[in-house]
Structure formats: structure tokens, C-alpha cells
Amino acid sequence: MPLGAIALGGADGAMLLGHWYLVTPKLSPGPLRRASLTVVAAIALQIALVGIVWLRGDLTGTWETALSVALGLRIGVGLLMTLVVAAAAWWTAGMNTQSSTGLLYVALGCVFAGEVSARVIFFLTGVPI
């Protein structure tokens, strides 16, 4: 759960920082790139932890229940899509901070959807993913 807080807070902070770049475009892109990289790192660690939980067998039977939608949302949108979008935001921050800010908006929505679905799964199964 702390990694979820880092990912959600990092995406929100990076997106707000990106807005500051829209007001003051001559700032160095370094802080925005580091903020985006924080989100990438938090999501990568979450993917590793979900993989460990999966290999331990804690999620067996989850795909056969109504939780399959929440699990698919968590893994597909909350982790994989967020990783791709946050990495794209990191990559574009050096070229165009406006596009990076837009990508961070998308990343924030993806992280939020993933964290809500992760809390639903945790509440119903006790498995922290």
C-alpha cells in the first residue's frame, strides 16, 4: 500500500509540476523527468510485488469470480498502462513539457483506477496487491 501512495502522490505531484512548466516554460526539465521517473519506479515495484503475490498462489480463484474485472483493471490499467504512460511522460519531458503534462494527466487517472480496484480486491480477499 505504501507503493500505491507513492505512485498516486507522485503522479499527482508530477502533473501539478507539469502545470508549472506551462506557466514558466524556461525551467529545466530535470525535476519533471525525476518526478515522472518516481512514478515509473513505484509502478515497476508494484508490478514485481503483484508478480510475487501471483506466484505464491494468493490470487488463485480470483479470475473465476466477479473480482476478475477488478483484477484486470488493476493489472491492465493500474499497472501496465500506467507504466507505459509514465515512461512516455519521462521520455517526452526533455522535449516538450506540455505533452509530458498531458501524459501525466492520463497516468494520474490510470493510477487512481488501479488503486481503487486494488483496495476493492484487498477489502474482499485480504490480498494486498
Q: In angstroms, what is the C-alpha Rg of the chain? A: 16
Whole-number pLDDT of residue 62: 66
Per-residue pLDDT of the chain (129 residues; tens, 9 = 90+): 789 999 999 999 999 999 998 898 888 999 999 999 999 999 999 999 999 998 998 777 666 777 888 899 999 999 999 999 999 999 999 898 999 999 999 999 999 999 999 999 999 888 888
The residue ranges of every structural domain in the chain are 2-125
Count how many Cα atoms sit within 13 Å of the Cα of residue 83 in the half-sphere of its side chain: 13
Whole-number pLDDT of residue 47: 96
C-alpha distances (whole Å) from 27 to each of 19, 33, 88, 98 are: 12, 12, 20, 12
